Amino acid sequence: MTTNSSPQLWLYDTTLRDGTQREGLSVSIEDKLRIARRLDQLGIPFIEGGWPGANPKDVQFFWQLQEDPLKQAEIVAFCSTRRPNSTAATEPMLQDILAAGTRWVTIFGKSWDLHVTTGLKTTLEENLAMICDTIEYLRSQGRRIIYDAEHWFDGYKHNRDYALQTLEAAIASGAEWLVLCDTNGGTLPHEISQIVQDVISHLSLVICQEPMTKDKGQRTIPQIGIHTHNDSEMAVANAIAAVMAGAKMVQGTINGYGERCGNANLCSLIPNLQLKAGYSCITEDQLTQLTEASRFVSEVVNLAPDEHAPFVGRSAFAHKGGIHVSAVERNPLTYEHIQPEQVGNRRRIVISEQSGLSNVLAKARSFGIELDQQKAEAREILQRLKDLESEGFQFEAAEASFVLLMHEALGGRQKFFEVKGFQVHCDLIEGKETSNALATVKVAVDGKNILEAAEGNGPVAALDAALRKALVNFYPQIATFDLTDYKVRILNGHTGTAAKTRVLVESGNGRQRWTTVGVSTNILAASYQAVVEGLEYGLLLHSQAEAALKASS
């Protein structure tokens, strides 16, 4: 827990630049703006928006933020040092940086002599001149500079003296932050700690040995930052090691997105540094938004959230074993290293064939259902659960189906509709990659039979469309339901085409998501079970919300 006396640590988010270099991740201008504003709400002090001039999207992004600025965060433009054998004042890319209108600019330069001679194909002296000239020019234009020392740790290991000279050049030119980058992600925490300590000691000595001048006096040492990549699964550990060694800025991305194996994950760094190491990163209220922010960014970039991510994953505080559940019910400290609410997450009791009665009672309670362990219903639900899972059902990943099972065992499962039967017909047209499907369903609502048909690009899509078409006049809220995911798993593949199939269907209404399950040797029958229960659970949520609204009024 942080206090007013906790040391300040500056967070720098590069999701919108380094994070978007992840393979398969692409965002629009609107996506970038939505993410930037969400990070602003989260309290991130520095948000790197991209490289103005590198593409039209980034130019538009910075222009739009000039028109409608963020509330508290500094938006930062990113760029390299000027090209060899030119001048910063005539460098076109630096004019794009100035046009972005940001107060802060992050400039990256080469620290590793190998990159200078083989990548830039220039001399070590010219690289130092590029760093100085670029920073001095931007400073003369009123910009404040964060200097990212690219490949710093590799450069230090191969040529310590030259790597330190690049930092000295950045200091002499007016950089306010020196960020040490483990660009290849191959350094270990003990190396990070030792090198950061050496850098701070060396720069302190260099600054102290400089003569004082009348106009400037004694210069102060720029603050040190850390930027780590995850190629060795060490990005978070390395960033924490750097902070412990004296770094005051941590650069990273939401959910650890980034090139190759990703960047340091801010969703792990922030709670570790704030709740465990005692640093002040964001406010406690903002910290409770971390899980929501993580999932928001996942949705915007259209990548499935990592369910097992520390702190913010859906399974981060999930308990499956009966002994674990019983202990957590008595005292959460027994199996939880923090309170899930501190990061905006929640405890989950997972239901499976390994469950004991304590799991069932806790899971029921989480859905507002109080079961008496002394009564037969509780043990009946547990036995029914284990029987169905032995047949291939999986309620661990389909909590909505488990809720319906509980309501049925308690005699309170509401019958919104009854499916009397369905047929699905598929046409595969020779020479075409796609097939058309037609589904016909017969549904009864309040004693009235409805027969409807609908087409889809596959049998499940057609069945889902026909069911909605039949029910929407009775339940208009169904129009807001979406089938958001569909997963199929073969349970006993050795039986060939007679294998039993498990289908998981995820549905949503724009505010909530829920998952239902179906199992059968017929994939359409399994899909039918899951789709029908998905609609039923959505209607149950709607009726509960209406009842709560009436009760409150």
DSSP structure string for 380-409? HHHHHHHHHHHTT--GGG-HHHHHHHHHHH
> Is pLDDT above 60 for 85?
yes
Distance CA 407, CA 387 (A): 17
CB 210 within 8 A of CB 218: yes
What one-letter code names the amino acid at 512?
A: Q
Instruction: Report whether pLDDT(322) > 80.
Output: no
* CATH 3.30.160.270 domain residues, the chain: 418-552
The percentage of the chain sitting over the pLDDT mark of 70, rounded to a whole number, equals 90
Question: How far, in Å, CA of 510 to CA of 404, rounded?
Answer: 21
1 pLDDT more than 60 = no
Structure tokens belonging to residue 157: 């290991």
Fold held by 418-552 = Double Stranded RNA Binding Domain (3.30.160)
Residue 433: pLDDT above 60? no
Phi, psi of 3 (to 5 degrees): -130, 180
Residue 217 pLDDT exceeds 50: no
Q: Quick one: fold of 10-282?
A: TIM Barrel (3.20.20)
What's the pLDDT band for 498 if we cut at 50, 70, 90?
A: low
Q: Which residues pair with 217 in a beta bridge?
A: none
- What's the pLDDT at 436? 81
pLDDT of residue 492: 66
370 or 237, higher pLDDT: 237
Mean model confidence pLDDT for the chain: 89
pLDDT in tens, 118-148: 999 999 999 999 999 999 999 999 999 999 9
Backbone angles phi, psi at 153, to 5 degrees: -70, -35
Average pLDDT for 533-551: 90
Q: What pLDDT sits at residue 303?
A: 83
Max CA-CA distance within the chain? 94
Q: Among 52-66, 94-108, 195-209, 377-391, which is the least confidently predicted range?
A: 377-391
Please give the backbone phi and psi of residue 485, each rounded to the nearest 5 degrees, phi first: -155, 150
pLDDT of residue 430: 65
* Rounded CA separation 417/191 (Å): 64
Per-residue pLDDT, 323: 65
Mean pLDDT of 384-410: 79
